[in-house]
Amino acid sequence: MAKLDADEWKDKSVDLANDVAKQFIALALGGIAFAVGITSQDAAALRTVLFWLVIGAFGVSSLLGFGFLMHGVSSQAQGKRLELYSGAARWAPVLQIVALVGAVVALLFFHIDAASRKTAQETKLTIQQGGKDTTLAVQPGRAVTIAVSPTGDLTAEVK
């Protein structure tokens, strides 16, 4: 195995930093998608401060990662090597990770809040017929239609 000189080690560390930044960008964008997915079942969640805190923190993390990567591209375009321990190149990745961890913690509280709001709003309707139970979750503002056919079959629909 050949020994690497100092320049090769610096190049490898820059490559690793770029890969880590890309992975944190992917996690942040996935976090945004997850938070938006939670709100698809609960439109009231869009009006909560926690939702916007989660989106903002994940967005800041993504932007810091993009900024770090673009700083590296700019350095390369100018014929310079990216120095990982100077200025923006040093603090952007640290702040990106801090923002992502903060967003994950906020997402946890947002998810708990959304779940508690959902269970508090639902009403369970259980219909018993012929020894068979059918349970429906009915949310406020929704209508339930129950129809009995001449043969005794029961149909229930939540609108």
Q: What pLDDT score does 102 carry?
A: 96
129 against 52, higher pLDDT: 52
State the pLDDT at residue 18.
86
Of residues 115 and 58, more confidently modeled: 58
> How is residue 136 written in tokens?
């429906």
Could you give phi then psi for residue 134, rounded to 5 degrees? -125, 125
Residue 101 corresponds to which tokens in the numbers above?
């961890």
Cα dihedral angle (98, 99, 100, 101), rounded to 10 degrees? 50
Interval 21-76: pLDDT, tens: 999 999 999 999 999 988 887 777 777 888 999 999 999 999 999 998 888 888 88
Asked if the model's pLDDT at residue 140 lies above 70, the reply is no
